[in-house]
């Protein structure tokens, strides 16, 4: 059980990692709290009462006070980010003790363990603005969505932003291949299929292949492994917590796992070739995705069919227009002679991606 007494954790801790403070003399409770800190990747400072020097109490981003120590800390300076932790679910006086020490929350073990792990992990990692997360979807097969997703990610990384590229299509052949890194060391999606609850953002990033100054989560060359929706949610939430940008290459089908990915997007880009058949297919994709995505826009790819231009395609789909995705001549060369999309930092596709990020980041309030 958890309960809120007053207010949220102090905003001053946002983006600033730190050590939680544990105050208790209850050996069994201390063992549990140390176990939860270890699960969250944090090393706490432990005291039986308010630290004599005062810095630990005032400076810790999170203070966990055992119910046994509530009376000993009543005289401490009031601060935010204090959690009173106990075990007796039926104790009616626990709320009075929480108010007496200025606690934000009352938490009872074992019921509140996952909530507390999440809070401690926030402290260990530092919680700032989440990554600007953009999904790319093809209006039909072969629309060039994977190429654009890679180019957007490479361009973001070249601009110095922390960037993670996520391949959400197990049948797409692997974005690591498109980036020339199919043999690069690092984990792929099947390694995260059993993930539940919270995944550490730092651990996730360090475990993935690094290609062209960005991290890539793709698929291996083995049998197709079903990744449950809970694992998709946990992995993408971890990717977003570290800030920067996350680019997700999405399949055209909508299942539970894809719905979890769509729900975490800040924006989705529907790539539509400017011809009538593609437009008809894209209309169905837009209708399905629009039920989940908060901000769906269209990027048109030429050449244009009779009577069509980018504005007409956007009008017929009823979506805001990003622009025309240009053809990158180097990408038309045989495999092995071209760099990955956007890797040169020059050319029409790189300029398109640079302009996209300038607008998207401006709308989002600046780099994250």
5 in a domain, yes or no? no
8 in a domain, yes or no? no
| Structure confidence by residue, pLDDT tens digits, 74-88 | 989 999 999 999 998
| Predicted pLDDT of residue 122 | 80
Domain count, the chain: 2
175 and 260 belong to one structural domain: yes
| Structure confidence by residue, pLDDT tens digits, 102-138 | 999 999 999 999 889 888 888 887 667 889 999 999 9
116 and 136 belong to one structural domain: no
81 and 205 belong to one structural domain: no
160 and 182 belong to one structural domain: yes
- Domain of residue 175 covers 132-365
* Final residue before a domain boundary, out of 75, 99, 125: 125
103 and 224 belong to one structural domain: no
Which pair of tokens denotes residue 303?
A: 């050449």
Helices (H) and strands (E) in the chain, counts: 12, 14
**Within 13 Å, how many C-alpha atoms sit on residue 208's CB side?**
28
151 in a domain, yes or no? yes
107 in a domain, yes or no? yes
137 and 105 belong to one structural domain: no
* Final residue before a domain boundary, out of 90, 125, 160: 125
196 and 157 belong to one structural domain: yes
Which pair of tokens denotes residue 159?
A: 């601009």
| CB distance 271 to 145 below 8 Å | yes
4 in a domain, yes or no? no
139 and 70 belong to one structural domain: no
| Predicted pLDDT of residue 334 | 44
- What is the strand order of the sheet 296-301 is part of? 210-211, 214-217, 163-167, 245-250, 132-138, 267-273, 296-301, 321-325
14 in a domain, yes or no? no
| Predicted pLDDT of residue 1 | 54
Quick one: 295 exposed, middle or buried, by C-beta within 10 A (0-12, 13-18, 19+)? Answer: middle
**Pairwise pLDDT comparison (339 vs 150), residue with the higher score:** 150
| Structure confidence by residue, pLDDT tens digits, 203-262 | 889 999 999 999 999 998 887 788 999 999 989 988 998 899 999 999 998 889 999 999
| Predicted pLDDT of residue 132 | 97
2 in a domain, yes or no? no
97 and 69 belong to one structural domain: yes
Strand segments (E) across the chain: 2-4, 21-23, 45-47, 63-66, 82-86, 105-108, 132-138, 163-167, 210-211, 214-217, 245-250, 267-273, 296-301, 321-325
111 and 163 belong to one structural domain: no
Report the CATH number that the domain containing residue 348 is assigned in CATH.
3.40.50.300
Q: Which residues make beta-bridge pairs with 46? A: 22
| Predicted pLDDT of residue 119 | 87
| CB distance 20 to 122 below 8 Å | no
3-class DSSP state of 361: helix
In angstroms, what CA-CA distances link 327 with 140, 301, 332, 349? 17, 8, 9, 7
* Final residue before a domain boundary, out of 125, 148, 171: 125
Q: How confident is the model at residue 56 (pLDDT cuts 50, 70, 90)?
A: confident
Taking the mean position of all CA atoms in its chain, how far away is CA 196?
Answer: 15
| Structure confidence by residue, pLDDT tens digits, 162-201 | 999 999 998 888 899 989 898 999 999 999 998 877 787 8
293 and 177 belong to one structural domain: yes
| Predicted pLDDT of residue 330 | 54
| Structure confidence by residue, pLDDT tens digits, 13-29 | 444 457 899 999 999 99
| Predicted pLDDT of residue 12 | 40
Report the CATH number that the domain containing residue 45 is assigned in CATH.
3.40.50
Which pair of tokens denotes residue 114?
A: 């996952």
3-class DSSP state of 66: strand
15 in a domain, yes or no? no
Is the pLDDT at 68 greater than 80? The verdict is yes
113 and 146 belong to one structural domain: no
| Structure confidence by residue, pLDDT tens digits, 264-321 | 999 999 999 999 999 999 999 999 998 889 899 999 998 888 889 999 999 999 999 9
């Amino acid at each position: 059980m958890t309960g809120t007494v007053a207010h949220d954790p102090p905003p001053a801790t946002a983006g600033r990692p730190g050590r939680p403070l544990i105050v208790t003399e209850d050996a069994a409770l201390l063992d549990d709290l140390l176990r939860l800190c270890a699960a969250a990747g944090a090393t706490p400072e432990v005291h039986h009462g308010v630290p004599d020097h005062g810095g630990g109490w005032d400076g810790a981003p999170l203070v966990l006070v055992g119910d046994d120590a509530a009376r000993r800390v009543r005289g401490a300076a009031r601060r935010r980010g204090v959690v009173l932790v106990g075990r007796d679910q039926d104790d009616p006086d626990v709320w009075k003790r929480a108010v007496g020490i200025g606690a934000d929350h009352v938490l009872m073990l074992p019921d509140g363990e996952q909530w507390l792990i999440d809070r401690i992990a926030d402290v260990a990692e530092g919680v700032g603005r989440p990554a600007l997360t953009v999904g790319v979807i093809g209006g039909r097969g072969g629309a060039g969505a994977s190429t654009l997703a890679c180019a957007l990610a490479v361009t973001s990384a070249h601009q110095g932003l922390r960037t993670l590229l996520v391949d959400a299509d197990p049948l797409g052949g692997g974005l690591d291949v498109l980036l020339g890194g199919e043999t690069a060391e690092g984990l792929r999606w099947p390694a995260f299929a059993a993930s539940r609850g919270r995944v550490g953002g730092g651990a996730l990033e360090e475990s993935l292949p690094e290609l062209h100054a960005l991290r890539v989560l793709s698929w291996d060359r083995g049998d197709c492994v079903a990744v449950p929706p809970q694992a998709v949610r946990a992995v993408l939430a971890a990717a977003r917590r570290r800030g920067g940008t996350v680019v997700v290459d999405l399949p055209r089908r909508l299942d539970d796992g894809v719905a979890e990915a769509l729900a975490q997007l800040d924006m989705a880009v529907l790539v539509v070739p400017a011809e009538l058949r593609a437009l008809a297919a894209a209309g169905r994709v837009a209708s399905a995705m629009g039920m989940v995505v908060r901000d769906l826009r269209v990027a048109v790819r030429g050449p244009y069919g009779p009577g069509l231009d980018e504005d007409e395609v956007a009008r017929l789909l009823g979506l805001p227009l990003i622009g025309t995705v240009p053809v990158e001549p180097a990408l038309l060369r045989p495999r092995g002679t071209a760099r990955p999309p956007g890797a040169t930092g020059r050319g029409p596709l790189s300029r398109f991606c640079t302009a996209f990020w300038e607008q998207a980041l401006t709308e989002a309030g600046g780099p994250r």
